[in-house]
Chain A
Amino acid sequence: MTEPAPPIHPVAGRPEPDGLGSDQELVRRILTGEESLFAPLVRRYQARVVAHVARMVGSREDALDLAQEIFLKVFQALERYNPEYKFSTWLFRIAGNAAIDHLRKRRPRTVPLEIPDPESRTGVSAVEHESPGLDPFGRLRNVQRGEAISKAIAELPLEFRELITLRHFGGLSYEEIARLKNMPLGTVKNKLFRARVVLKERLAGELS
């Protein structure tokens, strides 16, 4: 009955800002009939799931559709979630599978050549940003830099891309990623390191 309480947040012990207890606690209550608590659970993760998936599939629009499917799957499979592990690990595994499925289905029509258009604001770069307190120039620099990074990430090989976005847009720890990908922790660190080296090369000159 009394399982050891798992860490409730990447920053251990930090209470959730919605005041509703840990993810595990929410899941337990949803499964015992308080289904309306699914809404706060979605609220906790929707931004990170969309950001992660958008960068995995290279389209924010597709990511929004996929996010609906992902949360539907999560809801339907909630009984199978093992509360010994972090909820985010489980959620992002479902999200990653959905993204990869989507890429596989879509591959034939993404192969056509795309002419890089520096003016283009479509795809992953057209995201809603929340950056209060920046002066207009700061904001512009931020947008430009964000677009450069988005583009570089979108061009990474799938495996690197997934690891980078899990870490930086999904907010998962190395340990969570290791569990999610069934990889040794050292391998995760090593691959993330190499992914950043590739990013660095591609972004040379952009980040000054």
Chain B
Amino acid sequence: MKKTMNASVHETLEIARSLKELPRERAPRSLLPAVLQKVGLGDTYWRIDSAVGEIYVAHSRAGISMVSRARSTREFEKAFESRFGRPIASDRTRPPANVKALVAGRLRGKDANLRFDLRDLSEFERAVLRKALEIPPGEVRPYSWIAREIGHPDAVRATGSALAKNPVPLLIPCHRVVRTDGHLGNYSLGGPRNKRRLLEAEGAQPATLEKLAASGVRYFGNEAGRYFCFPTCGGIDSLLRENRVIFSSQREALAAGFKPCADCRPAAVA
């Protein structure tokens, strides 16, 4: 009895070893995307026409995660997978109205009430992008404005880097942030030419802004109201010429007794 038992133990160990030596099986690549779709966590994308051509807008339940241009759906899907490490599929539903309005530059980002999926970014980067959402279409702000508004007035360069990393350009309008000297600066969604095109489409008149900046104009003052603004505040033509005073620096405006505008906040309000 004992002997057969021992033989049996030995044999079953052999079975266990054979089972262990079986090749490992893989789950097919299609399983994970199918699961994520099922639980409502799948990423999908829309293709939407914009002022800079067709763009791809990726989103999941967490929010909008990526906006980019691509030559084909395949190219976009590959770019998404390599950036986020998860698959993405085409969304057959129509994009919602607030997304389309944002893409068309008809809506201020913070009014669109959209959720963005910015979890890969740092707290500082998220603060920069949230601030950029406040700039209305047709207006621009300098990088230094964002840095000051988020409480890091010395971090102008870091602000520029954060905007350059914006995963959702157009929807978070980093194109509305320009250099103080009037240069438009770079743009991730197709370079400075597209930045100019977008600003023109929104009515910000980049050519006029550049001319003003070149001649040293940084702010418009309102003679009647005794306040001063960025030139695009409320739209570049909103200030009547007869009321308009020109300033080349905050100090000059403040010394002349003008207060910073409460809407565009060209200087810290004391």
A193 to B39, CA, bound (A): 39
* Known A36-B119, A142-B23, A146-B23: A72·B35 in contact at CB below 8 Å: yes
| A140 adjacent to chain B (CB < 8 Å) | no
Choose, from B8-16, B143-151, B166-174, B180-188, the stretch at the interface.
B8-16
* Known A47-B27, A128-B25: A72·B38 in contact at CB below 8 Å: yes
Interface residues on B, range: 20 to 34
Min C-beta distance of A39 to chain B, whole Å: 5
Number of A-B contacts (CB under 8 A): 102
Choose, from A8-16, A90-98, A199-207, the stretch at the interface.
A199-207
Contact: A193 with B12, CB < 8 Å? yes
Q: CB-CB < 8 A to B11: which residues of A? A: 196-197, 200
| B269 adjacent to chain A (CB < 8 Å) | no
CB-nearest residue of chain B to A71: B35
Q: CB-CB < 8 A to B15: which residues of A? A: 196, 199-200, 203, 207
Min C-beta distance of B180 to chain A, whole Å: 38
* Known A36-B62, A196-B15: A129·B41 in contact at CB below 8 Å: no
| B74 adjacent to chain A (CB < 8 Å) | no
| B28 adjacent to chain A (CB < 8 Å) | yes
| A163 adjacent to chain B (CB < 8 Å) | no
Partner of A36, one of B16, B34, B35, B41: B41
A142 to B20, CA, bound (A): 12
A193 to B8, CA, bound (A): 9
A129 to B27, CA, bound (A): 10
Contact: B25 with A127, CB < 8 Å? yes
Q: CB-CB < 8 A to A199: which residues of B? A: 15
Contact: B26 with A130, CB < 8 Å? yes
Other 4 A-B pairs with CB < 8 A, given A36-B119, A39-B41, A67-B35: A149-B19, A196-B12, A200-B8, A203-B15
